[in-house]
Structure 1
Amino acid sequence: MSVDESLASASNALVYSAMAVYTLALGASTMDLAALGDRASARMRKKQQGKSQQMSAGVAGGGGTATVVRTSASEEPISLAEDGASRKVARIAVSLTVLALLLHIGGVVTRGLSAHRAPWGNMYEFSVTGTSVVVLVYLLVLTRRDVRWLSTFVLAPVLLSLGLAVAVFYTDSAPLVPALQSYWLVIHVSVAFISISLFVLAFSTTVLQLVQERREIKRAAGETLGAGRFMEALPTSTDLEKLSYRLIAISFPLWGFTLVAGAIWAEVAWGRYWNWDPKEVWTFIIWVVYAAYLHARATGGWNGRRAAYLSMAGFACIIINYVVVNVFFPGNHSYAGIG
């Protein structure tokens, strides 16, 4: 079938519109983080003043030896980001994100309709569709837990990926190559989208975990924390690590299904379940790294920084598999559509 150029143009316009609204949402979420930092600082100052007044009252009224109860310097920061408070700017950010996602999905759907197929036949389409799934999964998580504090760290990589898609990976809408004309395209790639989306959320959470842990160590040592006041409002490094672990635990079996489904599709398309294609190898490497993470986390007692580094290694493998392998390593999966 011929490509419907009007729908292809409409898809491009919707994607650009979504990027513009995502930018506004990113700005609003960043403002919300700054406001959280101000609230956290004000609460900590008030808390310190209260302690000082109690100490002064104890010394003045004791008439003798005053007993002063000291609070540990390693006391965990108060998490204002999940206290359920209504934050106007945060609500605006979420509303803008929903609007941007609707435009984004519209761009994905019209791209598929323009070529009469599933809209993930090359790197441009995979990037555009994949980022929409990332935002959708984030909003679904938001219905179960107040993670609006994560918005900035979701929208920023989404915008970066969309920028690369339109500036570097863009490919005109066209029919699928013969090897991709299979129902396995929908099964294999759609599950991969969901899995990678969860890995993205876990990666963002892990980065915040490492930053928070460093701040907690400095606080315990009595050092000045410096910039990043918004971190005082976020959950503790332990809570962030637990959230990242849960996201990976959900995503891992989906990635395993992606690997198995890809092998089945390979047998249908090329007559062999495994061809040692670079894409196949790196998909398996990703599975091994995250399997090692989950095993070490569950049975080896690995947590905190060591587990975080292993999790980030897994995400680095995803980036290599997506960008480096697709662009620089030709093979059976050379469908990038660029270069």
Structure 2
Amino acid sequence: MAVNETLSTYSDWSYASGLAVYVLAMGAYAAEYAFGRKPARTEAGQLVGAGAPVAPEPPRPGVIVEPPRATVPERAGRIAVLLTGLGAVFHFASLLLRGLATERMPLGNMYEYVSAVALVGVVAWLVLLRRHNIRRLGLFVLLPLVILLFLAWAVLYAKAAPLVPALRSYWIVIHVSVIVIGSGLLILPGVTSMLYLVRKAHDANPARFVRVASKLPEADALDRISYRVTVFAFPLLTFGIIAGAIWAESAWGRYWGWDPKETVAFVSWVVYAAYLHARATAGWRGKPAAWINIFGWVTVVFNLFFINMVVAGLHSYAGV
């Protein structure tokens, strides 16, 4: 199968463009976070400001009320969101063009896999922005995603090529796609759980992390986001592992063989199951649950890089 080199080149250009736009978005998020006001609180205890809508007082008859002008940090935050969306368009185009160039799903090597995981994380972040007032978390969310994309470009890049024989199965669409979505979603609760610990430390001692934590959402809000995203991602992780076992039976004649990647994936599943259980148990809510969630994210990243690149196993055919 011949590779369309023109589309492959356009894919690389789109990838680089998306990465550059994400870096610009990080700068805009950083500007809003650094120079924006601390979020205020209403009588009901809910956060306002920092981009959150505040109910205006009803205008008096005959009085023309001009809408309040957005401050410079608020404008920077809005620009950051627009840049994130633009970066996602370039990012998606890079994967689409790679798939068209090779006439296959663009999930055949580590470069494509990491790029797809990061794209899911970006899209999930944009969806959360429409439901929660968490725009000031943008710098902290984009930072690990940009690092992943940079490592994929600098270390994991592979030229567009047909799939290796071991991956030529319809199960790559089912198993790998679901794992990509689950892994990308789990980036967000990993970040928010770490920020939750920072916020709790600041609440316990206002002198700690004052420059960072004072502008974060309340700890309870961060905890709820971590929990809800994990609840959504956990069934996907579960189905992805089951689908992988079915594919293993058809490819290798057994459902499970304790291959290093299978083993660490199972460890990740156990950790996230423990997190959901801890989150539902009164004595383990809060900091203990957050630490479990962070550890789960560490196992996912460990499986993504160390197992794929250092440890030899049956999954090593994907290459880098």
Question: What is the TM-score with the length of structure 1 in the denominator?
Answer: 0.84
Sequence identity of aligned pairs in percent? Answer: 43
Q: Output the amino acid matched with 1:25.
A: A
* Cross-structure match for 1:6: 6
Q: Distance in 2 between matches of 1:82 and 1:190?
A: 34
Moved more, 78-87 or 12-21: 78-87
Q: Output the amino acid matched with 1:2.
A: A
* Cross-structure match for 1:209: 196
* Cross-structure match for 2:294: 312
* Cross-structure match for 1:325: 307
- 2:236 pairs with 1:228: no
Q: CA deviation at 1:148?
A: 1.2
Q: Distance in 2 between matches of 1:198 and 1:5?
A: 32
Q: Distance in 2 between matches of 1:9 and 1:117?
A: 16
Q: CA deviation at 1:225?
A: 4.3
Q: CA deviation at 1:238?
A: 2.1
Q: Output the amino acid matched with 1:84.
A: P
* Unaligned residue ranges in structure 2 (runs of 5+): 55-69
Q: Output the amino acid matched with 1:257.
A: F
Q: Distance in 1 between matches of 2:149 and 2:87?
A: 12
Contact 2:238 2:269 in 1 (8 A): yes
Q: CA deviation at 1:227?
A: 4.3
Show the 5 A alignment for 1:179-258: 179-219=166-206, 224-225=207-208, 227-228=210-211, 231-258=213-240
Note closer, same or farther for the CA distance 1:226–1:233 as it changes in structure 2 (3 Å cut): closer
Counterpart selection for 2:79 from 77, 86, 92: 92
- 2:2 pairs with 1:33: no
Q: Output the amino acid matched with 2:121.
A: V
Q: Distance in 2 between matches of 1:325 and 1:225?
A: 36
Q: CA deviation at 1:150?
A: 2.1
Note closer, same or farther for the CA distance 1:177–1:283 as it changes in structure 2 (3 Å cut): same
* Cross-structure match for 1:73: none
Q: CA deviation at 1:255?
A: 0.5
Counterpart selection for 1:265 from 241, 247, 255: 247
Contact 1:77 1:232 in 2 (8 A): no
Contact 1:81 1:234 in 2 (8 A): no
Q: CA deviation at 1:3?
A: 1.1
Contact 1:137 1:194 in 2 (8 A): no
Choose 1 or 2 for highest CA Rg: 1
* Cross-structure match for 1:125: 112
Note closer, same or farther for the CA distance 1:213–1:113 as it changes in structure 2 (3 Å cut): same
* Cross-structure match for 1:288: 270
Higher normalized contact order (CA 8 Å, seq sep 6+, divided by chain length): 1
Q: CA deviation at 1:17?
A: 0.6
Q: Distance in 2 between matches of 1:9 and 1:276?
A: 39
Cα deviations by residue, 1:187-232 (Å, 9 ceiling, x for unpaired):
111111221122100011011101101100113xxxx346425x32
Show the 5 A alignment for 1:136-155: 136-155=123-142
* Cross-structure match for 2:18: 18
Q: CA deviation at 1:241?
A: 1.2
Q: Output the amino acid matched with 2:53.
A: G
Secondary structure, counterpart of 1:2 in structure 2 = coil
Contact 1:79 1:233 in 2 (8 A): no
Contact 2:110 2:319 in 1 (8 A): yes
* Cross-structure match for 2:165: 178
Q: Distance in 2 between matches of 1:145 and 1:82?
A: 10
* Cross-structure match for 2:52: 83
Contact 2:186 2:233 in 1 (8 A): yes
Cα deviations by residue, 1:149-170 (Å, 9 ceiling, x for unpaired):
2211221111101110111001
* Cross-structure match for 2:67: none
Cα deviations by residue, 1:52-95 (Å, 9 ceiling, x for unpaired):
xxxxxxxxxxxxxxxxxxxxxxxx89554463266321110111
Contact 1:18 1:101 in 2 (8 A): yes
Secondary structure, counterpart of 1:272 in structure 2 = coil
**RMSD after superposition:** 2.0
State the aligned residue count. 300
Q: Output the amino acid matched with 1:3.
A: V
Contact 1:195 1:254 in 2 (8 A): yes
Q: Distance in 2 between matches of 1:189 and 1:247?
A: 20
